[in-house]
Amino acid sequence: MKKLLAVLLTILMAVPLFAFSPVLFAKDGNKGGGNGGKEEKCNFTARFEKEPATIGMEAGQEETFILLVTNNCGMEQLKIKASSENAGLELGNAEFEVAPKGTFRLTVKIKQPPKSGTSNEVHWMIKLVSQYGKQLEFKFITRYKITQECRYTVKWEKDPTSGKLDPGQEGEYGLVVTNIGATKINFKVTSKTEGLRFSVNEFSVEAGQKFVLKIIVRQTAKGQEIFSKWAFVIVTDCGGQKEIIFRVFFKATEQPSCKFTLRWQKSPESVKLDPGQEAEFPLEVTNKGTQKTTIKIEYSGEFLKFSAREFELEPGAKFVLKVTVKQPPVGKEPATKFLFVLVASCGQKVQISFRVFYKTPPANNCEFEVRWEKNPANTPLKAGQRESFNLLIKNKTGKNMKFSASSVSTAIKFSPDRLEVPNGHEKKMKVTITMPGKQNNEKEKTFEITIKADCGTTKVVKFTVKYK
């Protein structure tokens, strides 16, 4: 019985060990494999606080950068070993620990090596390995500082797009490379494009001199495109490179044209509208060019609406654009002028202008509206009591107007007594009333205000205020 109890006790003590210690049964990590799930949960990442590639370095120059190593594990502290096989790279710590969800600042000191060849880049690698076998090969580059002496220009003797080639036909184009710096520059040209070759792959140009590089292309087989695309890279020994991209058209096809035409299905000038009235006018847009294009509408006003602000047209296709016009408030002119612009992605831009006439052409219009924001007749006042009310003046003349206010009563004051109101707008004029004393037990007082517009029209506002 005692032996049986001892066996059972041993089993019970072993259960938690199996349940809560998966590491005991994990395989050794090897470049990201195994470790019973800790590999995935306790990974880490690295990034530079400031990228080394963003600054140019001279040969022999030393710079220090900070590599931020972040522990993405929420529970486990990571022990990380750092190493590099690059000469000229020193690490501040070969081994370090990173707290859960923490970041360690690893100092990386770099000494830029002497330059070799025409490449402007130096490639580096730091290897980071955790105690669980997680391995990160962190790669980065530094660049050599480009001096002002490395100055040159490139220019085509003749634009490749000016000629046309049949499929399989060869064409030769001269690229003039001019050294505008003070020292000799060595050049190297490379390309991954099949069918493209050069008169030379490497050449030198003395200061102030030029060299004509011959570029030979064998025209590609014709597809749906009307031209072939070509690209190559010019690299210098003084730093930097230029990518040259050009096109060569096929003989059998013409360059795509960009042209669209416009036609009103219903002319806006054939309709007369009252102020505020709307009407719809269909505008037929036809693509007369040889390429697909997107057409956008440019308009920032408030009196025109469009069924679409952007649409596409295949060659030969047409689109009916519905233009809705709202006639503005009446003005001095017998018609309103409208303008908007159609802009095509292929390059064409057309300005459209038209007029819409009023039903009844304005003569010498001088219309405005006067109303109380809060009627004084609804506010009884005591004798001697002072109260202010807003008088609203709306300009409906079709132009900017000036208005003046006056009253024969000394109990009425205005602030201001003159207003300039734009067409279609409304402004407030403060009217202050000081209630006169009662006479013979009168119950109310009647006042008059005169509003005069500079166009000649006058309106009288008559109102009564009761005694409180």
Whether residue 245 sits in one domain with residue 165: yes
pLDDT at 432 (0 to 100): 94
Q: Say which amino acid occupies 340.
A: F
Other residues' Cβ atoms within 10 Å of the Cβ of residue 18: 10
The answer for residues whose C-beta is within 8 angstroms of residue 179's C-beta and 6 or more apart is 151, 152, 185, 205, 206, 207, 208, 209, 210
**Site of tokens 């000469």:** 87
pLDDT at 166 (0 to 100): 85
Residue 15 covered by a domain = no
Cα–Cα distances in Å, from 45 out to 189, 270, 333, 381, 440? 38, 71, 72, 79, 96
Of the three residues 305, 337, 358, the one that is the final residue of a domain is 358
Whether residue 412 sits in one domain with residue 390: yes
Reported as a single tens digit per residue, the pLDDT across 252-308 is 655 567 888 999 998 898 888 888 889 999 999 999 887 889 999 999 888 999 999
pLDDT at 399 over 50: yes
Whether residue 380 sits in one domain with residue 346: no
Residue 1 covered by a domain = no
Reported as a single tens digit per residue, the pLDDT across 243-252 is 999 999 888 6
Helix (H, G, I), strand (E, B) or coil at 362: coil
The tokens for 254 are 């013409």
Of the listed ranges 40-44, 64-68, 253-257, 317-321, the one predicted with least confidence: 253-257
- With 0-12 / 13-18 / 19 or more C-beta atoms within 10 angstroms meaning exposed / middle / buried, residue 331 is middle
Of the listed ranges 4-18, 177-191, 410-424, the one predicted with least confidence: 4-18
User: In this structure, what DSSP letter does residue 255 have?
Assistant: P
- The per-residue pLDDT of the chain, averaged, comes to 85
Reported as a single tens digit per residue, the pLDDT across 256-268 is 678 889 999 988 9
Residue 372 covered by a domain = yes
| Domain count for the chain | 4
Whether residue 350 sits in one domain with residue 403: no
Alpha carbon distance, N-terminus to C-terminus of the chain? 110
Whether residue 395 sits in one domain with residue 433: yes
Whether residue 164 sits in one domain with residue 131: no
Of the listed ranges 114-118, 262-266, 381-385, the one predicted with least confidence: 114-118
Residue 100 covered by a domain = yes
**Site of tokens 């096809």:** 253
Reported as a single tens digit per residue, the pLDDT across 4-15 is 445 444 444 444
Of the three residues 219, 250, 281, the one that is the final residue of a domain is 250
Whether residue 140 sits in one domain with residue 29: yes
Give the whole-angstrom CA distance, residue 170 versus residue 230: 13
Residue 12 covered by a domain = no
Residue 17 covered by a domain = no
Q: What CATH number should be reported for the domain holding residue 57? A: 2.60.40.10
Of the three residues 221, 250, 279, the one that is the final residue of a domain is 250
pLDDT at 31 (0 to 100): 38
Of 92-101, 223-232, 289-298, which has the strongest mean pLDDT? 92-101
Residue 14 covered by a domain = no
Residue 392 covered by a domain = yes
pLDDT at 16 over 70: no
Q: Say which amino acid occupies 307.
A: S
Whether residue 163 sits in one domain with residue 53: no
Q: What is the pTM of this model?
A: 0.32
Higher pLDDT, 324 or 13: 324
Print the domain residue range for 120: 25-144
